[in-house]
Structure 1
Amino acid sequence: MIHLTVRRFVCATVGCPRRTFAEPIAQLTAPYARFTTRLNHVMERVGLASPGGPAPGWLAG
């Protein structure tokens, strides 16, 4: 689990649709992502390297 602290900013422009916003951290993860970019890349590589098809018993009812 990663606990991340980011700075929050307030837009002082009248009529701005976003009153507050946080600094983006694009190098670590995408907005609203459930995994870091690095972990997502590793999971993708493992999935492509493993043989296809569901695990035994996956479709058993």
Structure 2
Amino acid sequence: MHVNSKLNFTRAWDSEQGSVFQRDPDMVGRAWAAMMANDPVGSTWGPQLSPGVFEGIHRYRNSYF
């Protein structure tokens, strides 16, 4: 399993963007929210933003061939 923080996810997302006008500025936040909604375990990991509220960690499969 690989894990990724919201900050590193945002950096990777932004590095692929050719122009600030290429996509909606809130798209990273929407993508992150969708990933956290899809992973009830990973969404409870990571930095605590407020009591009982966590930023979450993006977990994804590590494939070996």
Q: TM-score, normalised by structure 1?
A: 0.29
Greater helix proportion? 2
Bigger radius of gyration: 1
Give TM-score scaled by structure 2 length: 0.27
Q: Which has the higher strand share?
A: 2
Q: Which has the higher contact order (CA 8 A, sep 6+)?
A: 2
